[in-house]
Amino acid sequence: MKTRMAIWAGKTAGTLSRTMGNDGTTIPGVVARKVDPGFLRHLRKTAKTIIYITGTNGKTTTANLTAHLFRFAGKRIIANLEGSNMVTGLSAALVRNTPLFGWRVNEIAVMEVDEASLPKVVAECPPDYLIVTNFFRDQLDRYGEVDVLIEKMKDSLRPFDIKFILNSDDPFVHRFSDLQKENIYVGLDADAYPFQSYTMGESKYCPECAKELTYSTIHYGQLGHYHCHCGFSRPEPTFSAEKVDTGRQGLRLIMDGEAYSTTLKGMYNAYNALLAMTVCRTLGINESHIQAGLISYHQSNGRMQEFLLNGLKWKLNLVKNPAGGNVTLSEFIRTNDSKQLIFCLNDEPADGEDISWIWDIDFEVANREDVCGFIASGKRAYDAAIRMKYAGIPAEKIMILPDLKAAMLYAKATEVPAYIMATYTCLAPLIKILSKSADKQQKGDESIGTVTLPLLSRYLKPVWGQRQYHLFKKAMRMAGYYPASRRNK
């Protein structure tokens, strides 16, 4: 009975949240867990096979692509595609997928899981498969040092029978091999692709003896082919990409002599594609379904997302740590075409309140003639501009516009394609601004024209919004979230 009440309260809270104009992706899980604190354990009732995807970079893309491939192959799945990857977000996905009565049985659950949240998630509902993408320094104020984070994750996984799918090119990920589980490794061959080299990189020291690792090939960061005199070395991949090519349509990978084309952009996405393909192969998905699914997948979540403005192709990508910033820059400067670079930087809790990581982004590589302008935007626009200035970029080429919309309008007026790097909380507003501008151009009419329902709803909102607020507060109080006032008692 308690579980049914949790589902009802979560669904009600989510509906009210969306009616109030919010996205409502996490609140169903928050409310459900107030009623039933261990609510996520019920994920096992609704999925025969559970897959978790974790790591620093690439987990959202890997999770969404994996879910798409399974769906394309005709599998019934449950997934947290909205990107809410903490225990409340996973619980919210379960609430949305579950009817008020009974349980909807899915073949597979594909869940993206925040690294720091993994111990709590696994304690409630251990997975059958765990995919680990990579580890980089990221939000040190929340995660702490990578070594400490990895040990906490390993301790939480030790008691359970879990199959691992690991990135063999990352020595940090290779440390999960200590758990003596069934491991499947993926990686890139030494000459798969000539990655851009950087003056700034991650730690490249052996986790066993603390001596510096020897690399025969470095892809980016600490990812590559490594070994140490103490015996710690890159495991031989079970599945590897022999060659990776880039084109206007996306990536093309050669694996076991077979060619796979995907719409994913950015060389670092080769790892994400490999991990998704590997788990699908492991669970028996037909090769033809994988190949067709890769071609039909399209991203719309700010990960190398493209927008057409004024006939020019703009690109937007999430950047949340130095490694992500560097590989994004390498993609942006692949051509010598005229372009402008926009860096949108916020310091909200979801972004990481410590922004010192921007000094480890190699902005020096963007100080080129073909990059005709730089725009610093977001709440910490001035910090972003100072970093650009210290990279040797002339002050006259840097424009500081903290307001995101103003920055986009200014960039649009220059009639030069823009490449945008954005932190988490900048991403959703930017997608909304750019999508709206692109849609208007597609329709060929940027004027309002007649009065529409959205315009009318603006005047109704003050009245309707009051009712929404009280309904929402009532639902939260039923879940024990707010105490009742004397009058309400």
Cα first-last separation, the chain: 24
pLDDT tens, 218-252?
888 889 999 999 999 999 999 999 999 987 788 99
- The secondary structure of residue 212, as a DSSP letter, is B
Single-letter amino acid code for the residue at 327: V
Phi, psi of 95 (to 5 degrees): -60, -45
Q: Is the model's pLDDT at 462 over the cut of 80?
A: no
In the predicted model, is pLDDT for residue 455 greater than 50? no
- Is the pLDDT score of 398 beyond 90? yes
**And the tokens for 488?**
């309400």
User: Quick check: 464 pLDDT over 50?
Assistant: no
Residue of 128, 132, 123 whose CA lies nearest to 178: 132
Tokens in use for 181?
A: 């589980």
Given a cut of 70, whether residue 482 has pLDDT beyond it is no
How do 77-79 and 47-54 pair as beta strands? unpaired
CA 414 to the chain's CA centroid: 30
One-letter identity of residue 276:
A
Which neighbouring-strand residues pair with 214? 227
The active-site residue out of 23, 178, 256, 354 is: 354
Residues 6+ apart with CB under 8 A from 240: 186, 187, 188, 189, 255, 274
Angle at 411 between CA 408 and CA 417, to 5 degrees: 110
354 is catalytic: yes
Considering only 50-54, 219-223, 240-244, 291-295, which range has the smallest mean pLDDT? Answer: 219-223
* Average confidence (pLDDT) over 163-188: 95
User: Please, are residues 66 and 11 in contact by the beta-carbon 8 Å criterion?
Assistant: no
In one-letter notation, the amino acid at residue 321 is N
What values do phi and psi take at 131, rounded to 5?
Answer: -100, 125
Report pLDDT for 176: 95
How would you list the strands of the sheet with 251-255, edge to edge? 243-246, 251-255, 258-262
Higher confidence at residue 468 or residue 338? 338
DSSP states along 428-475 = HHHHHHHHHHHHHHHHT--S--S--HHHHHHHHHHHHHHHHHHHHHHH
How high is the pLDDT of residue 439?
61
In this predicted structure, the answer to whether residue 177 has a pLDDT above a threshold of 90 is: yes
DSSP letter at 191?
Answer: T
pLDDT recorded at residue 472: 47
Kindly report the pTM of this predicted structure.
Answer: 0.81
Please give the biggest Cα pair distance in the chain. 73
Alpha helices in 47-145 (DSSP H): 59-72, 87-97, 118-124, 140-143
> Contact 310/438 with Cβ under 8 angstroms?
no
Residue 323: what pLDDT? 84
User: Picking from 176-190, 195-209, 212-226, which range would have the lowest pLDDT averaged per residue?
Assistant: 195-209
Domains, the chain, with CATH or none: 38-296 (3.40.1190.10), 305-443 (3.90.190.20)
Q: Are strands 258-262 and 371-377 parallel, antiparallel or unpaired?
A: unpaired
User: What residues does 420 pair with on adjacent strands?
Assistant: 316, 342
360, with CB counted inside 10 A (0-12, 13-18, 19+), is: middle
In the chain, how many H helices and how many E strands?
16, 18
